[in-house]
Structure 1
Amino acid sequence: MKRLSCAVAIAAATLATAAGAQTTTDAPTTAPPPAISVSGSAAIVSDYRFRGVSQSDRQMAVQAGLTITHDSGLYVGTWASNLAGWGTFGGANMELDLIGGFKTALASNATLDVGLTWYMYPGGAPKTDFAEPYVRLTGTTGPATLTAGVAYAPRQQAIGKWYANGAEAAAGTYSRPGAKADNLYLWGDGAVAIAGTPITAKAHIGHSRGQDGLGPNATAVSPTGRYWDWSLGADIAVRRLTLGLAYVGTDISNRDAAYLRPSFSKGQDGTGNIAGGTLLATLTAAF
């Protein structure tokens, strides 16, 4: 009887072990997320506005970007757009940005992003490229996302005031060659997702202070020295496509904007305001 009981106990233990092994074998395994991820986008915009000022002479532009991110928070990326201005005169008709930085979570709903953008104008004058470090703090609460940022471009020739007036810029005649300047940009963004819809309402305000004029080959980050820019609009997202509509404007006067016009291929007739308010349409595909 004891031998039978022992046999039964051994058999039961063997079956239990086999069942456990089978369960372990059949259980689905979850692969860890990749250490490196790649994301990007391509867009068509009705006007390329950089801090409220047109870089495409109020014409359509095609843009694209790519970012490679490591799970440590480090990332590198690039972004490009065609231009019609800031280099129309014997220079580049393209902007190419190189970006690198580090993003980390401060809390479950707050992120700090620190990095640097290197603005390049391939084929343009040799002193048009410039660097600009930045810091962004983003927080979410419910459907709202808020971002505050600061970007500071230290003193460098590319953003110095090389031209005394627009006529000099058009002729490529420098009255202050080698001049250097710095620039500080402060901004805030807000976005609110509207529940039950694919719509996100968005708003932006920014203030530039520093560079007061056009640099070599008419590059600029704050072409009139000090001004405000803003936008108000909405995005409609359907899968990987996003349609954006926004009103963009600045407080740059027509008189101040006249200084910028000769640096644009279609602005030499003295008409139009490349810093005036406009309705901006954007179609973006993410991948």
Structure 2
Amino acid sequence: MNRVAPLMALLLAALPSAMAAAQGIEPSLDLTTDERRRGLSWSRGRPALVAGVVVPVGSTLSLGARGTTLRRSARHGGAALGFDLDAMIARDLGPWRLSGGVIGHVFTGRSELGYAEVEAGVGHLIGPLQIDLTATYAPRQRAIGGDNLYVRLAGSAALPGTPLALRAHLGHSSGDTRDIERAARLRPDGDYWDYRIGLDLTRTPVTFGVALSGTSADRPAPGRFVDRHVGTRLVAFARLAP
């Protein structure tokens, strides 16, 4: 938690003044049948609410905050709520987009399980197809039992003449393990692959989506921080983004 606290303090201090000065604030509210990240459930395989806001600051910097109902997930020590705070920089260079930033994760009642990550990405637009490659790295922290690297290749494309869009990604999680139980929070079966293939329908301001989400993880070893929701699952969601 020592590495997370300075990040949390910086983001919390900057957010109010940024919201006061910024225009184009982007709020959102999601209802999903299962909050899955990197193919793993963060809500015990149950429905969840996710509320978020993105605050642009200038032309390249944005601050974001997101709160998620975790349904007392063992993955995060039985916390009821999780919060993600981030500061991201993005710049467009023709059809290319470069991005990077820091992300902090905190959990109500379980401050010792908070952790921080850094992220870098590159995206390219080819006609209607957007392709993104990102790498997200969590340096060695006690909360996650070592370090963790997540590499993700994603693609999305709107279907011409329709309100539909196809989205897919393939990701890989790896890292060094110092504490098996805590490392199982992000890698319950060791290094693994995950995938997601979905279809979205947007009728502004609402988007409906359905996706197939799965992993190569098989049967994670029992532990305090292991939820067993790592198999393939069909997930549906509705998003309100005024």
Q: CA deviation at 1:263?
A: 4.5
SS for the counterpart of 2:25 is strand
Is 1:285 paired with 2:240?
yes
Is 1:97 paired with 2:84?
yes
How many pairs align? 219
For 1:135-165, what per-residue CA distance to the aligned partner results, in whole angstroms no more than 9, with x for missing partners? 12122111111110000100111111xxxxx
Preserved contact between residue 115 and residue 144 of structure 2 (Cα < 8 Å): yes
Show the counterpart of 2:60.
Answer: 73
Which 5+ residue runs of structure 2 have no aligned equivalent?
1-20
Summarize the Cα distance change of 1:88–1:75 in structure 2 as closer, same or farther, 3 Å threshold.
closer
SS for the counterpart of 2:187 is coil
Cα distance in 2 for partners of 1:97, 1:60 equals 19
For residue 259 of structure 1, the aligned residue among 200, 217, 222 is 222
TM-score (norm 2): 0.84
Mapping of 1:39-78 within 5 angstroms? 39-78=26-65
Amino acid at match of 2:50: Q
Summarize the Cα distance change of 1:236–1:211 in structure 2 as closer, same or farther, 3 Å threshold.
farther
Cα distance in 2 for partners of 1:76, 1:121 equals 19
Preserved contact between residue 87 and residue 93 of structure 1 (Cα < 8 Å): no
Show the counterpart of 2:106.
Answer: 120
The percent of aligned pairs where both chains have the same amino acid is: 31
Preserved contact between residue 75 and residue 185 of structure 2 (Cα < 8 Å): no
Question: 1 or 2, which has the higher strand percentage?
Answer: 2
Q: CA deviation at 1:220?
A: 2.1
CA RMSD of aligned residues (A): 2.0
Show the counterpart of 1:163.
Answer: none
If you compute each CA radius of gyration, which structure gives the higher value, 1 or 2?
A: 1
Show the counterpart of 2:74.
Answer: 86
Show the counterpart of 1:148.
Answer: 133
Summarize the Cα distance change of 1:195–1:100 in structure 2 as closer, same or farther, 3 Å threshold.
same
Summarize the Cα distance change of 1:280–1:211 in structure 2 as closer, same or farther, 3 Å threshold.
farther
Cα distance in 1 for partners of 2:230, 2:239 equals 23
SS for the counterpart of 1:158 is helix
Preserved contact between residue 185 and residue 208 of structure 1 (Cα < 8 Å): yes
Preserved contact between residue 211 and residue 221 of structure 1 (Cα < 8 Å): no
Q: CA deviation at 1:131?
A: 0.5
Cα distance in 1 for partners of 2:184, 2:63 equals 24
Preserved contact between residue 36 and residue 71 of structure 1 (Cα < 8 Å): no
SS for the counterpart of 1:259 is coil
Show the counterpart of 1:177.
Answer: none
Summarize the Cα distance change of 1:88–1:229 in structure 2 as closer, same or farther, 3 Å threshold.
closer
Q: CA deviation at 1:225?
A: 2.5
State the 4+ residue runs in structure 1 displaced beyond 4 angstroms: none
